[in-house]
Structure 1
Amino acid sequence: MKENWIRGNRFTLLENGEAFFPRVFEVIAKAQREVLIETFILFEDKVGRELHATLLAAARRGVRVELTIDDWGSPDLSDGFISALIEAGVIFHVFQPAPKLFRRFHVFRRMHRKLVVVDGVRAFVGGINYSADHLADFGPEAKQDYAVEVEGPIVAHIHSFALAAVAGETPKRRWFHRRPKWPPLASLAPAGDARALFVWRDNQEHKNDIERQYRLAFRLARERIIVANAYFFPGYRFLRELRKAARRGVKVTLILQGNPDMAIVKTAASMLYHHLLGSGVEIYEYCKRPLHGKVALVDDTWATVGSSNLDPLSLSLNLEANVMIHDRAFNAQLSASLEKLMQHSCTRIDINDLTDSEAWRPIRTFFLFHLLRRYPSWAGFLPAHTPRLASLRAPASPDHAGDLNQSAMQ
């Protein structure tokens, strides 16, 4: 499928909560007409409370605010927290709501995107949730992560996508061949030199779009590939492109979790180490704190930032969104950040350090090969349904000010 790369954009890298949260809150505080937010996790901690206050202020001055959370990722918001938003006029959406007793078992096909669009002219895309564990003062478990601030014509495409999502619709690529209703695409003047593509993953027409963009970039790589990803256990075709690139002389580097937030993450990724190292891929484990980033770069022009991990959940089940960026300046900025991680906070893995036995390795390789080759199709057998978006908003009639209107959209 031919992709329409959009020219005239500017991307600003935001590393960790220290850069991301103040900038997002500042932009929302200046919003004049509309704020759309999607997030997997919203906690009622100091970050969540600051977002709460910022959204309340925006809604009270007449800005249309729509906030979407994932029910599994944000399970513990209090009634008071939610009610205050709704009473101020915020439209509050819950993706795939489930009874509290069963919520923690309801893990498939989550809304894992992290998007913000303000007034249809500025957007934020990345992997950072609204929780205090994205700040360094959280301690050793604070996450290392990335997002981008987006300006330029590509924002109109992200805006169209976000509007479709809160309307309960399935966005389609053909949306982007038409002007969104508001703001007009022509009103978004060029803001920079970057070409960009907004790409998402869903369980209808765009099941492998993000992975396909990764594989295409790897196939075209000539000098280097750097992938920094928190949860790494991709499919066979993804790994094949990485190994082929390394074998033709491209310097391929992976930055993975060495201090994982979940032990299974490192266990799963390490099963691939011998397979990758034997092909010339370099592997670094980030050990300073948990890595939560989902970024990559190829050569000196291509980069991606978004919400998609490189594991079965993100590649086969969850709803995700990334931006693909062609821009030397942004590539250099992201490259400097990743090089700093490798130099100061990572341990390089050597093939001679691997301790798996020679007898076990062929058996493991056999099963891994067939698992990785088949799991995307196997994932389709997991619970398939049309997800619900439950929406809470203040009633239109002042005679029923104590009630909440709720609707479920397919």
Structure 2
Amino acid sequence: MTGGGTRRFERLRQTLFGRRYWSKYRFTAGNEVRLFRSGEGFFASLIERIDAAGKDVVLETYIFCNDSAGQAVSAALLRAADRGVRVRVITDGIGTARLALFNDWPTRGVEHRIYNPHLFGRFGFSRTHRKLAVVDDQVAWCGGINIVDDYENDGVRLPYRRWDFAVELQGPVVADVREAFEVQWHRIRFGHRPVESLQPDFALKDDTSPSAPARGRNRSTDLRGAGEPAVAFVARDNLINRRAIEKAYLTAIGQARAEVLLANPYFMPGRKLRRALTFAARRGVDVKLIIGRKEFAALDYAVPFLYRSLLKAGVKIAEYEKTMLHGKVAVVDSNWGTVGSSNLDALSLMLNNEANVVLVMDPQIDALREAILTAFDESRRIDLAHYEARPAGERLLNWLAYNTYRVVMKLLTVGGYD
């Protein structure tokens, strides 16, 4: 890294790891990260680890389908429970149907809790949209991949594998993933009580071990060197981490000097994130944005309303239509990256329980960057002149769809969405 690059990284490191984020997330060094670009590798890794589990398996997902992927994962969970491993699963009440395969779980020892079983439940409108797993406190997973076949989407066969990502983690960060699950497990039972009163069961985690979270000390001491790879698990909830994921994006984009690559299926962020992207483009940063389409028609009409200000600032926008784009990923300056469950819309940034992993100086960032650039090249570019020449009826439809979305989201977020 050049001298200027080192100084920029040090400024980014100080901003990311400084005191202002103590209650949000921590960075740790000494982790191993493995990137998966599809469910195929992710499910193989997860099932292999579950089959080797000796004491504890936890899994949290928005969607658990009764298809080939779901049946394979369920079978692995049952095998683990049969040999005496404690197995716990959280699914979302709207994202996951009441599946027949769940009937065997309680009789075989798999503990199952449902987050917010109804559309408006004890946790309001929020969902658990996270995709997490931990086995024996040694290996964790986080990303955007649900327990669903790569080619299936609401009964329709996709032409190519769903474009999605997850990471397998080993090292100190695993303790943070496990803690997030424990808090959620007890929150479902007790509701939104103070975190300290939940008293989650950490019996399987040794808090005196070198990998345990270091409470109350400066997170920058975890790095042991400015150029050393670091990983942070960033969870979003409606308690103390309401804007943690959004702030992680804002900080990285605000520090960008050369490149911002961002891919997301539901791009409806508030003004702060849109401004961060336009400001970055105006100061000469190469900003490339990939947006998914053809899943929710309302968003297909609403999202283009945002294109004008972004394009005029120099942001390069492309719409991905090769298959279903489900990945929620970003890379900044080739030394910061994120993989997770959080869309860039009001629901993910302000209502749902979400989880991302942030990587700094990790070797896997290069592979993630390559995947995003390849997808950008395979996408349909949005040209400003062509965009401005849209028929009046289409422009009106975009305006109506966007403002309808904005009003609804303001109501659901009690005015928080801007």
- Specify the TM-score bucket, using the shorter chain as the normaliser: 0.7 to 0.9
Give the root-mean-square deviation of aligned CA atoms.
Answer: 3.3
TM-superposed deviation, 1:148: 0.5
Per the alignment, residue 7 of structure 2 pairs with: none
Report the residue type matching 2:168 in the other structure.
E
Alignment of 1:65-84 (within 5 A): 65-78=87-100, 81-84=101-104
Q: Which amino acid aligns with 2:383?
A: D
**Partner of 1:275 in structure 2?**
309
Shift of 1:340: 1.7
Aligned to 1:347, which of 358, 366, 380? 380
Cα deviation for residue 357 of structure 1 reads 5.4
Secondary structure of the corresponding residue to residue 272 of structure 1: helix
1:125 counterpart (142, 152, 157): 142
Distance 1:141 1:264, change over 3 A: farther
Query: Match of 1:165, as an amino acid?
Result: Q
Rounded Cα–Cα distance in structure 2 between residues aligned with 1:139 and 1:366: 30
2:163 to 141, 144, 147: 144
Letter in 2 for 1:298: V
**From 42, 67, 73, the counterpart of 1:20:** 42
CA distance in 1, matches of 2:302, 2:405: 12
Partner of 1:381: 414
Change (3 A) 1:228 1:340: same
The alpha carbon displacement at 1:299 in A equals 0.4
Equivalent-residue separation in structure 2 for 1:241 and 1:5 (angstroms): 23
Whole-angstrom CA distance in 1 between matches of 2:382 and 2:31: 37
Percent identity over the alignment?
35
| Contact kept? 1:164, 1:171, Cα under 8 Å | no
Q: How far is 1:215 from its partner? A: 0.5
**What residue is the counterpart of 2:216 in the other structure?**
none
Question: Which position in structure 1 is the counterpart of 2:180?
Answer: 161
Match of 2:277 among 242, 247, 256: 242
What pairs up with 1:257-406 in 2 under 5 angstroms? 257-258=292-293, 260-343=294-377, 345-354=378-387, 355-356=389-390, 378-381=411-414
CA distance in 2, matches of 1:293, 1:203: 23
| CA deviation profile, 1:236-284 (whole Å, cap 9, x unmatched) | 01100000000001100101114x2222232222111111101000011
Q: SS state of the match for residue 226, structure 1? A: strand
Partner secondary structure for residue 128 of structure 1: coil
How much does 1:12 deviate?
0.9
Stretches of structure 1 that go unaligned for 5 or more consecutive residues are 383-410
The alignment's TM-score, normalised by the length of structure 1, stands at: 0.81
5+ long unaligned stretches in structure 2: 1-19, 213-221
Residue 386 of structure 1 corresponds to none
Deviations 1:210-245 (A, max 9, x none): 101100111001110001101101000110000000
1:218 aligns with 2:253: yes
Aligned pair partner of 2:77 in 55, 62, 65: 55
Paired with 2:266 and 2:374, the residues of 1 have a C-alpha distance of 20
Residue 362 of structure 1 and its aligned partner are, at CA, apart by: 11
* Residue number in structure 2 paired with 1:195: 230
Tell me, what secondary structure is at the counterpart of 1:132?
coil
CA shift in 2, pair 1:302/1:181, >3 Å: farther
Q: 1:358 to 1:131 in 2, by over 3 A?
A: closer
Q: CA deviation at 1:371?
A: 8.2
Q: Secondary structure at the match of 1:318?
A: coil
Would the aligned equivalents of 1:122 and 1:155 in 2 still touch at CA under 8 Å?
yes
Deviation at 1:76, TM superposition (A): 3.9
Q: Which amino acid aligns with 2:112?
A: F
Given the superposition, is the C-alpha separation of residues 108 and 141 from structure 1 closer, same or farther in structure 2, using an over 3 Å criterion? farther
Structure 1 partner of 2:8: none
1:10 aligns with 2:27: no
- Paired position in structure 2 for 1:43: 65
1:347 and 1:371, CA in 2 relative to 1: closer, same or farther beyond 3 A?
A: closer
Instruction: Letter of the 1:301 partner, please give it.
Output: N
CA gap of 1:333–1:173, structure 2 versus 1, over 3 A, is farther
